[in-house]
Structure formats: C-alpha cells, structure tokens
Structure 1
Amino acid sequence: MTNFISIFPLGIVVYPGEQLNLHVFEPRYKQLIANCLSENKPFGIPVVINNKIMEYGILMQIKHVEKVYDNGEMDIITVGDSVFRILEQVEEIPGKMYSGAIVNYPDNNGKPPAKLLKEVLHGIRELHTFLQIHKSFRKEDSKLVSYDLAHHAGLSLEEEYELLQLFYESQRLEYLKRHLNKVIPMMAEMERLKERVMLNGHFRNLSTDNL
C-alpha cells in the first residue's frame, strides 16, 4: 500500500502501539493537527537524526485532544500505528505550512518466540536492578512484544531507529538480546568497581596468621 501523509518530523522513535503525548505549539504543526482532526486522518512522525529526516517513521493516530489553548496550541494524545518508509518527501503542499511524504508500509510479521521473549525480559529486569529503577509493564509478560520493551533496554536513538527497521519479531528480540548481553556485563563490572572504590580507605580486618 502506498499513500500520501502529512509529516511531523521529530528526534524520537515511536513504535506501534505506543502512546505519545504531544504539546503542539509551532504554527505549521498546529495547522497540520487541525487539518488531521477535521479530515479524520493520521499523520506521520519520521525520525530525525543529526538534523536529517530518516527514511523510516511511524504513522500516528490522534486519539484525543486533551486541551486547546487560547493561542491555538494543543495538548494531544496519539498512538503509534504502522511503520512507514518514505519513498518521496513533498517539501511544499499548496496552501499548507507543513510538508508531507509519499510512503509505503512494509509487512511486519511474527509472533514473539516465548523463550526469546523470556530471555529479553529477564535481561531488562537485570539491567533495571543494576540501575536501581523499577518499571512495570501494562501487559502480562506473555503478551509483551519487542515494541513494548525497546524503550526500556537503554538503547540510543540510533539503536532504537535500527530496531524500527526490523520487520520480524524474532529479529527485534534478538537485537534486544544482543544489546543486553553487551551492556549487562559492563554494568556488573561497574558495580564491582564501585564496591572496590567504596572499600578504599576503610579499616578492614586483615590477618596474616596463616602465613
């Protein structure tokens, strides 16, 4: 499927099913959202990295307008729908301040392999333990998918974008697993270093009786 969408480029990665709350304040994007609301249409958020609009992004559905300010600014609640690929960017749309793009929607396949999902979940919880943070998911473990977990694994923006370009669930989970297998040993070593630093300068009960 190929179609034309209005675009709202942002320096973030949004995944299918993810809720994104936006405060819309720029005139061109106030116009974009107003038009989408009046025509009951979605809009696209292509990822921006290093001031460059990237090839892939996410189609967003506007679920609710939380607040409209006197100056036309808006607080809106949106939800990620489908991953798109930009085929052609349309810089100027007659009568509009914002731009658009001709996009298609790559097939997105796969059910999460239970064993692999369990391993990734275990790794994320281990990482959170090292970081001394607690996060809970809004679904049962068995119903989680890679998109629910990606923002919780400590990926960089570039890594989150790489994951957005993977279209099989097993590939995405393997990507997260490799990342966690790299990061967690580093965190463990930092914990050991922290313990050694904290011991330095303290009195310790040492004995040489057996020498």
Structure 2
Amino acid sequence: MRISLFPLDVVLFPGTGLPLHIFEDRYKEMIGECMADRTGFGVVRAQQEGLAVIGCTAQIVRVLHHYDDGRLDIFCQGESRFEIQMLENSRDFLEAEVDFFDDEGDVAPRSLREACAALHFETLELAGIEMQTLHLSLDEPISFKLASALPADLGFKQQLLGLRSDVERTHRLLDFYQAILPKLRMGAYAAKASGQNGHVM
C-alpha cells in the first residue's frame, strides 16, 4: 500500500498522541489531501543516516488552529505500524510502498504490566520529569504508552517500535527501568542527605 510520509525527529507509537505544527507548503498540501480523503499519513524517524525503515501511521484527530497563511496546528494519534518497502519521491513530499504489521503471540501478563507501570512512574518522579496525564488500563497492553513517555533516546524507542512481541517489548522496558533506577534512587538519596547536613546561621 502507498502512503504519504512525514519524516520527523520523533518515534510515534500506536495509540499515542502527536501535536504538529504544519508550516511547509509541501506538508500543507499533504495534510490537506489527508483531511479531504480522511486518510492518515506515515510518521518515520528522520535520522542522520537516512529514514528509519519502521514507522507508524498518524490519523488526524482534530485541527487545533488554522492560521490565515495556511499554517495548521493539528493533533494526531498513532494507529498502525508499517515497514517501508520502497520510497517514491515523484511529488513534493515523500510517499512509500509499505507493509503493515501487528504484534505476534501473547500479550504481556498482568503481573509484568503492573511491575512495569510502577517502575515507570517511579522513574519519572525521581528523574524530575513532569508526568503528563497517562491513561493506563492494566487490563490491556501498556507497552506502547509507556514507551512513548519514556525518558530514553530515540534509538531505543525506535527499537521498541519495531519489536513484534508485546511480551518482549514489556520485558525490554522493565530492563530499562531496572538499569536506570538504582542511579536515580542514589541521586535522590544523596540530595536528601545533603539537604539535612548542617544549617545556615
């Protein structure tokens, strides 16, 4: 299937939100077509060495602001993952022939999801990262939502996007939290201890 591509310095996951400011003429044209046809477009990570092969489609949920000069503020939601088979650059914006794919096998058990969610929120709190409202239901897979809010580099997020197993992706998240949390806990303890030493006269 052929879709329009929007290369960005982000990794979009299914079921997660993405606000965008559209100001280039080529992307105004692309978004205009998507809105007229009620179709989505593909978001792929733009890397120094080229485009990532795995991306995620974005569906336009609503237009937040329409400027007089044609610029747009829109809010999109990630939908389906795809793998690029062939790029097509005959238009002002990129298009690609893609194959869509889903996870295979079982989803992560609830006990693993609960452990992952607990470590996620502890990580954000200790890292001093403002927690955006995250609607989690532990009755369903949560790995995409956690990965989207993860304080990690885009390379790791790109790896998570390409995994085709919710169990493996959740385990990778757990490993990430367990690797970073001891340092964060030590830092928080040191800060608290130093705050209790002595006092200013």
TM-score by length of 2: 0.88
* Correspondence for 1:24 among 11, 14, 22: 22
* Residues 1:200 and 1:49: Cα distance change in structure 2 (over 3 Å): farther
Q: Structure 2: how far apart are the matches of 1:100 and 1:54?
A: 14
State the partner residue of 1:122: 118
Which stretches in structure 1 are left out of the alignment for 5+ residues? 204-211
Task: Please show how residues 1-211 of structure 1 align to structure 2 within 5 Å.
Answer: 3-50=1-48, 52-93=50-91, 97-109=92-104, 110-132=106-128, 133-143=130-140, 145-195=142-192, 197-198=194-195
Paired positions, count = 198
- Following superposition, the deviation at residue 83 of structure 1 comes to 0.7
Q: Which runs of 4+ in 1 moved over 6 A?
A: none
Q: CA RMSD in A?
A: 2.1
Q: Structure 2: how far apart are the matches of 1:68 and 1:134?
A: 29
Tell whether the 8 Å contact from 2:40 to 2:58 is kept in structure 1 after alignment: yes
Q: Structure 1: how far apart are the matches of 2:156 and 2:25?
A: 31
- Following superposition, the deviation at residue 61 of structure 1 comes to 1.2
Q: Structure 1: how far apart are the matches of 2:140 and 2:134?
A: 10
* Residues 1:143 and 1:107: Cα distance change in structure 2 (over 3 Å): closer
Which stretches in structure 2 are left out of the alignment for 5+ residues? none
| CA offset digits 1:41-95 (Å, max 9, x no partner) | 21101111236211111111122223221111112221111111111111223xx
- Following superposition, the deviation at residue 8 of structure 1 comes to 0.7
Percent same amino acid at aligned positions?
Answer: 26
Report the more deviating stretch, 64-73 or 159-168.
Answer: 64-73
TM-score by length of 1: 0.85
Q: Structure 1: how far apart are the matches of 2:191 and 2:138?
A: 32
SS of the equivalent of 2:90 reads coil
SS of the equivalent of 1:61 reads strand
* Residues 1:129 and 1:40: Cα distance change in structure 2 (over 3 Å): closer
| CA offset digits 1:6-26 (Å, max 9, x no partner) | 101100011101121211111
Tell whether the 8 Å contact from 2:11 to 2:157 is kept in structure 1 after alignment: yes
- Following superposition, the deviation at residue 138 of structure 1 comes to 1.7
- Following superposition, the deviation at residue 131 of structure 1 comes to 3.0
Q: Structure 2: how far apart are the matches of 1:134 and 1:157?
A: 19
Q: Structure 2: how far apart are the matches of 1:31 and 1:51?
A: 26
Q: Structure 2: how far apart are the matches of 1:16 and 1:200?
A: 48
Aligned partner letter, 1:23: H
